[in-house]
Structure 1
């Protein structure tokens, strides 16, 4: 079976600032800050910028306030860690951070019902994080593979939060035991609606610490090793008024809530379900009735059989009870305020070409060199329940094994592509996903009307040695627009399936356009360039840099593709206006950009040279 290659990349050019990175022509990428430990998300507000560091074994999670200088890597100051709060209140991973009405909202885990690490939504005043920290939604179903993910606020103020599934495809298996079953033995996928299942039971494929003889049998949405179900059975929905084992919401879903309610958790309303891992959510910048959702497709789930040749499918060991192949990562959309919508998981996935739903029993989802007919999945839902469902189409196909994560719409006419979605693809997580090549490691642009995909910023490597260079963009996980600048959060050098971990390699990248002037990088930047005079220029041009505070200054002449033509100045400047004369007689006719970078941000002006 031939599967489609997705995305348009004919307008990419090499970036001079970041070797090994390709970028859409007419744009420039540069490092805003480095040295972060696995950053997961970013937010801006009141002239400030904050990032979350997710937290990995041996590396504590944090919230940091950062500055993005451009001339030199920015600064980061820790404002919140778990140690600043009572034990168990703030636990990793920190998945999202969002600024709203003077408060920072964060999605994370904390010790909850049954002493499990469960999902939570909290907020705090950035002026006093520990003193004002308050959890407003707790006991979300995030003790498993995936987390409580992104928080977004509609223009009317209502909040939305996405929640991932506990498992890869609806059944707790040997792949889950070392990750979380040992710590939360009764946890499993929690239903967001009442679901009727057909009889089923899956025997573990490999031995584990809890099942050394690999004979544990587990049914869908049941705890590990609790036996098969021999007749149809109903799993009740978890709600704030009818919690299941203390858990108040279901997996693979998006809920809305009233952030001003006296009982925020009690205001939860299910908006949609049927996702494996709905990582990112964001509203259409031109139509707030549309909410976009990025979703990670189901995998095969296994591990390398030969650590010296980890990408060899011939030695691959399947661990998951219900392997799924070719469930592409997708973008979905819902109508805000409409009926509850269903998108298929764990029984329906989507054709990557037509975007229409297909049954898990379709041969496409068993097409892999490591699967045979005995591995092919069958539906879990009872037929009567399946017949009652209306499975929605995908809005756009992202790609296979690309790990689509966070995204943001362009809100800048100067940056261009207004309202289009700039979507991160953090990479294949080979080989445990069943991927044996590297895919993703890019930021893609999606037309918000048609769903057409185009590559925008790409790590051009094709091997681990080429991809995981600390100076490159490695694993982009989220984006945000700050004025006319696109900020990209880069998790850093990380590929767990290949045992690649390198701390302090996380970064934030800044992308700007070269076709228009850019007056602000930070919300408080007042160190700006004047218009060039004359422009068009023939023999020389003059430009002023207006400084409201002393700073190191880098002044550079760039061509229209962002390549450095000449370094005009590099040094310290005080308050006031500095004038620079740019000889243009030696330049070829064309479009150039003059860029200044100071400790407060960047400013850029277009120069036209005509002979």
Structure 2
């Protein structure tokens, strides 16, 4: 079912990445001191030059105008880091190029140029893998210290003793306000709260009683705007809402009935350059099929399921599981976008709805004129407008190896979001078709398409983050005194097991390079730095970066009071 198109910006992004890779290969040559490797490294540079020319030829045959080459790149200081970065980037590019053959281009339109690029890419990856074995990583920072931080910066604790802190905002006077979510996976739902945090770390409660988890908070022209999920409610309709909060504590519901009763919630909220509210709602499930991995909320809301924002025509593909809600233990079949135990019919039309999952919404400041701005996302949890070009960017958590339709090694993503854009879920993950070999879980059936036809993808991710890093709330550096102007700083909460993420990373949107800014080496036992960075937010002057540490997840007897807020400043 090849569509015969290339997603907008895909070739252009690949050209920028290939150019940066060329610079990295050239830098690798300069760093090498082993004469035995000189010829091999020289060949990698020549192959990369060929890749750039072939991509230019491929773009020309399809009428694509390539962008100017990036003017800057950030080379790693150690050869082993440089090889790791090249391997990561080259593997990701290979996945995109193979995406052309798996879906985007029909066999008749796949050219010699594409086949040549793929063949060279595989050779490059093979040689990089061999070279990586020649340069072991002798970096022992993880053994010597609890955390590492970018050189020239220092970390300071602002406040501790918090429970599930998630998001912060600043008012017009620069006062800091922080929200506690009131819920984390593995805990019983509580209530969301908002505090003002004073200069010395003292907290003053200003509002409570929000539906949980409270995941979004922003200040605009004298009021707070709050994103609430309503997890734990029993309803066949929606659970989440958007609330306007006055400084005196008065609450006004602006939007209600949001579909946030499942795995993922109402995510983030901001006011756009057009003075409208933008906010996100995640999906009910991992990959569009309610299964035994969703028992916690199916017991409360047995009729709840994913709802698309546009009409879909589905295959009659159903998934067989045991029925944990039946004492007899009988098996059931469940289709996509259906309640647990309800099958699909081949050719059935699943009607789109304004109240949908996996979407970015837009509405007026009073909640009127609610509209779906973009859809086809999975768990869009961070949302910010760039202060440089006013474009909308989000972080989106990728799929997991779980449930009736498990997906292997999906990335988290950083997207530029465009109006009416479709971003692929549930048949594309991280911009690539679900049928790609990468996504097949060993010993499980190969993922197939659920939909008989697809809208055109709006593009490809700006960057793909490490799988299961839980890359969440972010902000842009705008102050030269802090450094890295134009880069996005992203909090990575990490997986439930604490073996991934646990970082703040910075992202160069032009080059696609990701750098660790703060890394927790100890894991969930660390006391000298953030455990689980869920957000990285600059103060209004952008000379201080605040890192919200979500703390431990799970039952409250273990997680209560383990959250905190830290400040990172330039060490002058």
- Structure 1 and Structure 2 fold alike (TM over 0.5): yes
Whether 2:335 is the aligned partner of 1:208: answer no
What is the aligned partner in structure 1 of residue 499 from structure 2?
438
Rg larger in 1 or in 2?
1
Displacement of 1:323: 0.4
Q: What does residue 315 of structure 2 align with?
A: 198
Task: Find the partner of 2:496 among 429, 432, 439.
Answer: 429
The SS at the match of 2:331 is coil
Equivalences for 1:580-599 in 2 at 5 Å?
none
Partner of 1:329: 412
1:93 to 198, 213, 237: 213
Paired with 1:422 and 1:500, the residues of 2 have a C-alpha distance of 32
Whole-angstrom CA distance in 2 between matches of 1:327 and 1:211: 35
With over 3 angstroms needed to count, the CA separation of the structure-2 counterparts of 1:210 and 1:418, relative to structure 1, is farther
**Structure 2 residue aligned with 1:546:** none
Equivalent of 1:104 in 224, 241, 257: 224
* Corresponding residue of 1:250: 356
- Alpha carbons 1:42, 1:480 under 8 Å: kept: yes
* CA–CA separation in structure 1 for the residues paired with 2:167 and 2:473: 8
SS of corresponding position for 1:62: strand
- For normalisation by structure 2, the TM-score amounts to 0.71
Matched residue, 2:552: 493
Q: CA deviation at 1:442?
A: 0.2
- Residues 155 and 566, structure 2, Cα contact 8 Å, conserved in 1: yes
Matched, 1:469 2:552: no
Aligned residue for 1:428, secondary structure, equals coil
Answer whether contact 2:462 2:509 (CA < 8 A) is retained.
no
Q: Which has the higher helix share?
A: 2
Aligned residues: 432
Query: 2:477 matched to which residue of 1?
Result: 410
Q: Tell me the equivalent position of 1:224.
A: 340
Residue segments in structure 1 that go unaligned for 5+ positions in a row: 83-89, 240-248, 302-319, 351-356, 431-436, 516-611
In the other structure, the counterpart of 1:393 is 460
Residue 144 in structure 1 maps to residue 262 in structure 2:
yes
Matches within 5 A, 1:10-89: 20-45=146-171, 46-56=173-183, 57=187, 59-69=190-200, 74-82=201-209
**CA–CA distance in 1 between the matches of 2:282 and 2:534?**
16
Aligned 8 A contact 1:470 1:493 in 2: no
1:392 and 1:124 mapped to 2: Cα distance?
Answer: 36
Corresponding position of 2:241: 120
Which residue in 1 is equivalent to 2:569?
Answer: 512
C-alpha separation in 1, matches of 2:281 and 2:193: 21
Structure 1 residues 491 and 161 mapped into 2: Cα distance closer, same or farther (>3 Å)? same
For residues 492-531 of structure 1, what are the alpha-carbon distances to aligned partners after superposition, in whole Å with 9 as ceiling and x for unaligned? 12368xx99421010011010124xxxxxxxxxxxxxxxx
The structural deviation recorded for 1:208 is 1.9
* 2:352 is aligned with 1:293: no
1:166 corresponding residue in structure 2:
284
Farther off after superposition, 266-275 or 133-142 = 266-275
Contact 1:109 1:117 in 2 (8 A): no
1:236 equivalent in alignment to 2:351: yes
The answer as to whether partners of 2:238 and 2:258 remain within 8 angstroms in 1 is no
2 CA distance for matches of 1:114 and 1:479? 34
Q: Distance in 1 between matches of 2:168 and 2:481?
A: 22
1:47 positional shift: 3.0
Whether the aligned pair in 2 keeps the contact of 1:476 and 1:489 (CA below 8 Å) is yes
Partners of 1:39 and 1:54 within 8 A in 2: yes
Q: Is the contact between residue 13 and residue 22 of structure 1 (CA under 8 Å) also seen in structure 2?
A: no
Cα offset, 1:109, TM superposition:
3.0
CA–CA distance in structure 2, aligned partners of residues 225 and 361 of structure 1: 25
Task: Please list, as runs of the form range in 1=range in 2, the aligned pairs for 1:555-570 lying within 5 A after superposition.
Answer: none
Specify which of 426, 450, 457 is matched with residue 518 of structure 2: 457
Q: Distance in 2 between matches of 1:281 and 1:473?
A: 22
Question: Structure 2: how far apart are the matches of 1:478 and 1:347?
Answer: 29
Give the Cα–Cα distance (whole angstroms) in 2 for the partners of residues 116 and 272 of structure 1.
21
Instruction: Quote how far apart the aligned CAs of 1:134 are.
Output: 0.5
Moved more, 59-68 or 358-367: 59-68
- State the Cα distance separating 1:472 from its structure 2 match: 3.1
Equivalences for 1:372-391 in 2 at 5 Å? 372=443, 374-382=444-452, 385-386=453-454, 388-391=455-458
Which protein has the bigger strand share? 1
Which digits, 9 at most, give the CA deviation of each residue in 1:409-447, with x for residues without a partner?
1122211112210001101223xxxxxx81110000001
Q: Indicate which of 355, 358, 369 corresponds to 2:432.
A: 358
TM-score (norm 1): 0.67
Question: Residues of 2 paired with 1:411 and 1:210: CA distance?
Answer: 56
Structure 2's unaligned 5+ residue stretches are: 1-83, 93-136
CA pair 212-332 structure 1, distance change in 2 beyond 3 A? farther
